[in-house]
């Protein structure tokens, strides 16, 4: 005979707070993403060089959810200031523990210092692949790609990256005089990781 139960009682016992839900869901998808990278690089013998190249190629479309978020929030800026809204929104809503500090804000240039915990980097460290997977070009060029969908004259330049051994992330969006092409400018100023020398 089955025991009678109250469905709501079970839901109440397992329900997480909204912050815990974000943390759980974000970590869940980050783990799947990184496990797929490990499987491709190590189990299927593609190697980390090819996986890192594939990550960089995958960044060409940026992060579509950022564009959706800006639209939902009615953010109308289409100059360098839009990066502050996009990055802070992502940090507050999608990356628990990561803090974006806007240190410069103007239509021509917006700079952001990122501190705290990057859940992708933290999970890569847990998997012991943080010295194999190159997250910096993927992250910087993804930001660059979504900004160019907002304004083709915007570009992101990252100069510091925790995933390359810096104590914080630092980058800026700037409004260029001409349409921006390519993507190496987004990450080429970040130093190589100390373990890569």
Where residue 149 sits, what CATH number does that domain have? 3.30.1380.20
Mean pLDDT computed over 167-171 = 96
Number of domains observed in the structure of the chain: 1
Residue 103 maps to a domain:
yes
Inter-CA distances, 36 with 31, 39, 94, Å? 8, 5, 21
User: pTM score, two decimals?
Assistant: 0.85
Task: Please say if the pLDDT value at position 39 is more than 90.
Answer: yes
**For the segment 105-122, what is each residue's pLDDT rounded down to a tens digit?**
999 999 999 999 888 999
Residue 2 maps to a domain:
no
Q: What are the helix (H) ranges across 59-116? A: 64-72, 81-93
Inter-CA distances, 184 with 60, 109, 151, 174, 189, Å? 12, 19, 18, 15, 9
DSSP-assigned beta bridge partners for residue 115? 99
Mean pLDDT computed over 125-132 = 96
Residue 80 maps to a domain:
yes
Q: How confident is the model at residue 14 (pLDDT cuts 50, 70, 90)?
A: confident
Residue 137 maps to a domain:
yes
Range of the domain at 188: 7-196
Beta-strand ranges (E) seen in 127-196 are 154-160, 169-175
Mean pLDDT computed over 134-146 = 93
Q: Are 111 and 102 in contact (CB under 8 A)?
A: yes
Residue 32 maps to a domain:
yes
Task: Please say if the pLDDT value at position 43 is more than 90.
Answer: yes
């Amino acid at each position: 005979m089955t025991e009678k139960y109250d469905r709501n009682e079970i839901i109440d016992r397992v329900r997480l707070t909204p912050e815990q839900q974000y943390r759980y869901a974000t970590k869940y998808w980050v783990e799947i993403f990184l496990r797929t990278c490990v499987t491709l690089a190590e189990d299927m013998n593609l190697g980390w060089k090819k996986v890192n190249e594939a990550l960089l190629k995958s960044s060409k479309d940026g992060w579509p959810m950022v564009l959706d978020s800006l639209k939902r929030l009615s953010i109308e800026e289409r100059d360098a200031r839009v990066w502050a809204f996009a990055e802070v929104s992502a940090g507050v809503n999608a990356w628990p523990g990561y803090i974006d500090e806007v240190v410069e804000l103007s239509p021509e240039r917006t700079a952001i210092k990122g501190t705290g915990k990057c859940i992708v980097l933290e999970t890569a460290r847990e998997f012991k692949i943080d010295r194999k997977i190159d997250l910096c070009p993927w992250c910087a060029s993804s930001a660059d790609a979504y900004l160019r969908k907002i304004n083709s004259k915007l570009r992101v330049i990252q100069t510091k990256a925790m995933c390359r051994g810096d104590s914080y992330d630092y980058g800026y969006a700037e409004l260029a005089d001409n349409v921006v092409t390519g993507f190496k400018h987004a990450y080429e100023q970040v130093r190589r990781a100390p373990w890569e020398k």
